[in-house]
């Protein structure tokens, strides 16, 4: 019983810490033009779209810069997606149309500290650097994959605990 309580508390703490610090993966709501309204962002920040394979937000792997009230066109190219912003910059997402939206304050790129859905998920306010400043992203939605993975991991840990208590061999 004591072991189970410890396991549940450790798993809950891990889920909370991961969900707070993990970057949100986004995808467009349609396959063509999506608008990113940066007019509400804090001054001094630059924004960019990174491939969802680049969770470390490493700029040397490439990104698409976003300007104030930028329109980004998504065009499918096989399993990849080509993105073009209003300035004509080109960036390719590999293997899917999913991406990260990051901000740079001059000291490096960071993912949002959280987001607040506005209306029917067609708008979201993204919070950067743990402050109330925001980026309003229009026509994109979060991908619920990280939450689903945490839920699955918690379920598997619970099943393993129950099996252990009942003396069932887990292979």
Q: What count of Cα atoms within 13 Å lies in the side-chain half-sphere of residue 44?
A: 7
Binned at pLDDT 50, 70 and 90, residue 169 comes out as low
- Asked if 69 and 1 sit in the same domain, the reply is no
What's the domain count of the chain? 2
- Asked if 54 and 126 sit in the same domain, the reply is yes
- Asked if 7 and 39 sit in the same domain, the reply is no
pLDDT of 71 > 50? The answer is: yes
- Asked if 149 and 67 sit in the same domain, the reply is no
Residues contacting 54, CB < 8 A, separation 6+:
61, 62, 63, 100
170: left (phi over 0), alpha (psi -120 to 50) or beta: beta
- What is the mean predicted confidence (pLDDT) over 9-17? 45
pLDDT of 100 > 90? The answer is: yes
- Asked if 129 and 150 sit in the same domain, the reply is no
pLDDT of 4 > 60? The answer is: no
pLDDT of 43 > 60? The answer is: yes
Chain segment 132-154, per-residue pLDDT in tens: 556 666 677 777 655 666 677 78
- Cα distance from N-terminal residue to C-terminal residue, the chain: 23
- Asked if 59 and 89 sit in the same domain, the reply is yes
The DSSP bridge pattern shows strands 109-111 and 99-104 to be antiparallel
pTM: 0.69
Query: What is the domain extent for residue 86?
Result: 25-141
Query: Which DSSP category does 98 fall into?
Result: -
- Asked if 17 and 64 sit in the same domain, the reply is no
Counting every residue, how long is the chain? 171
- Asked if 4 and 47 sit in the same domain, the reply is no
Binned at pLDDT 50, 70 and 90, residue 13 comes out as very low
pLDDT of 17 > 50? The answer is: no
The span from the CA of 169 to the CA of 171, in Å, is 6
- Asked if 31 and 113 sit in the same domain, the reply is yes
- Asked if 82 and 103 sit in the same domain, the reply is yes
- Asked if 32 and 114 sit in the same domain, the reply is yes
């Amino acid at each position: 019983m004591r072991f189970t309580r410890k396991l549940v508390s450790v798993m809950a703490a891990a889920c909370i810490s991961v969900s707070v610090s993990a970057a949100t993966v986004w995808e467009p709501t349609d396959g063509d033009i999506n608008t990113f309204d940066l007019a509400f962002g804090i001054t001094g920040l630059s924004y960019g779209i990174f491939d969802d394979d680049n969770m470390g937000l490493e700029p040397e792997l490439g990104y698409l810069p976003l300007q104030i009230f930028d329109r980004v066109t998504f065009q499918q190219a096989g399993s990849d997606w080509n993105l073009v912003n209003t300035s004509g910059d080109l960036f390719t997402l590999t293997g899917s149309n999913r991406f990260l939206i990051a901000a740079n304050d001059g000291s490096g790129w960071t993912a949002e500290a959280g987001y607040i859905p506005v209306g029917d998920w067609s708008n979201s306010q993204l919070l950067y650097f743990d402050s109330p400043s925001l980026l309003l992203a229009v026509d994109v939605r979060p991908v619920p994959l990280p939450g689903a993975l945490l839920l699955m991991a918690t379920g598997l840990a619970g099943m393993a605990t129950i099996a252990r208590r009942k003396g069932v061999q887990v292979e």
